[in-house]
Amino acid sequence: MFNQSTQSYKILISAMAYDGGKSGISVYIYNVIRALALAKHQLDVVVLPEDRESMPQHPNVNYLTISPLLKKPLINMLWHLLILPFRICWRKYDFVLLPAANRRAFWFYRKFTITVVHDLSQYHVDYKYDMLRICYIKHILPRAVRRSDRIVAVSGSTARDLKTYWHIPERKIVVNYNGFDDARFFVDPAFAPQPVRRRFSLRKDFIFYVSRIEHPGKNHLNLIKAFELLPETLRQRYDLVLGGSFWPGAEPVSDYAANSPDAASFKFIGFVENSVLPDLYRAATLYVFPSLFEGFGLSLVEAMACGTPTACSSNSSLGEIAGNAALCFDASRPAEISSAIAKLLTMPQLRKKLQQRGLKRVQDFNWNRHAAKLVDIYEKASL
């Protein structure tokens, strides 16, 4: 348990991993900045020029825009690690927050610093990154993060990985679950699916999964294979709708889907804007999350909040976050994924039960509570 702070602090935040607002980490950065600003803290946020306008606009947030020449990943990683710490006027701030330390950290810290680690998927998913990036993540970032004062893990799964792979002392680690935007993701009794169906040309009922399209980490290939194993009656009635941009290395997914006998049932709808994402969750018969590894799995919580029955991998944090509110499966086995999908599609009472459990489970996830705990970490260390 922690206390809700009544004091205002001056906080430096790096938003170098914002990804143009198109990733789970960008959702995290956006909502943490927003929650801290609403709690009346004064924030200086280091940001790339193209990201500034899509981030929270609030009187308590001051954006420090860097040169666009620092945009390229390798240059940005090195600049953030070695140069930015020298350019900070550390005495201006009460503490520093690095909200994506599994991507960007400092080599040294002259003020109390909280680093947030979302996942260490590189130890669980083969060929996730190229060799240069793997070297950076496995050999440089661990040393940099260990030097910070507190390391926040967004799940118990990530906390265990921090101890196992990065050898972070347990006393430095704090588990702090992500939140979700409860103003947008909620059950809407008046919801009508027709507009969102028309927008994406969805004529059938559908199974939904939203994630960047990459291989193998997000496991689209096994999900497509699982759909192919469904009984013919279900394959005729339902489509598999896949939201998300194609990332480098996605060719095995697109190639397999294009050559499948069920190719017409696979709907790749591209990046989904936040404004329409809740409607897609609500319109779906079920949400499936087959990822091979996740540090938290925000879309699982969002789908549950919209009242959509869910099925997900039992691995990493997903089983932990789902609790008893989702049907879990072994993500490496298409037959198991297919069986879980078939159960949910053919058992309305099971769907209703999971829907009710999901609405209860999402009450454990709140951005304001998450941000308040970040401040509480600093206050407790300052005593």
What residues form DSSP beta bridges with 192?
none
Distance CA 233, CA 148 (A): 55
Position 254 confidence tier, pLDDT thresholds 50, 70, 90: very high
Residue 208 binned pLDDT confidence (cut-offs 50, 70, 90): very high
Q: How confident is the model at residue 23 (pLDDT cuts 50, 70, 90)?
A: confident
Residue 4 reports pLDDT greater than 70: no
pLDDT in tens, 52-83: 999 999 999 999 999 999 999 899 999 999 99
CATH class, domain 194-364, is alpha beta
pLDDT surpassing 70 at residue 350:
yes
pLDDT one-digit tens code per residue, 145-190: 999 999 999 999 999 999 999 999 999 999 999 999 999 999 999 9
Q: What sign does the CA torsion over 366, 371, 374, 380 have?
A: negative
Q: 3-state DSSP call for residue 240?
A: strand
What mean pLDDT comes out for the span 7-12? Answer: 97
pLDDT over 90 at 274, yes or no:
no
SS3 156: helix
For residue 2, what pLDDT band results from cuts at 50, 70 and 90? low
Mean pLDDT of the chain: 95
Alpha-carbon gap, residue 366 to 358, rounded angstroms = 15
The answer regarding whether domain 10-179+366-382 maps to CATH 3.90.180.10 reads: no
pLDDT of residue 371: 98
pLDDT value at position 19? 84
pLDDT at residue number 249: 84
212/188 Cα distance (integer angstroms)? 27
What is the location of CATH 3.40.50.2000 in the chain?
A: 10-179+366-382, 194-364
Does the structure show a pLDDT above 90 at 272? yes
Residue spans of beta strands (DSSP E) within 150-308: 150-153, 173-175, 205-210, 238-243, 266-270, 286-289
C-alpha pair distances (Å), 5 with each of 91, 111, 179, 181, 366 = 21, 20, 18, 21, 16
% of the chain at pLDDT higher than 90: 89
CA–CA distance, 14 with 275 (Å, rounded to integer): 25
Tokens 């709907």 sit on residue: 267
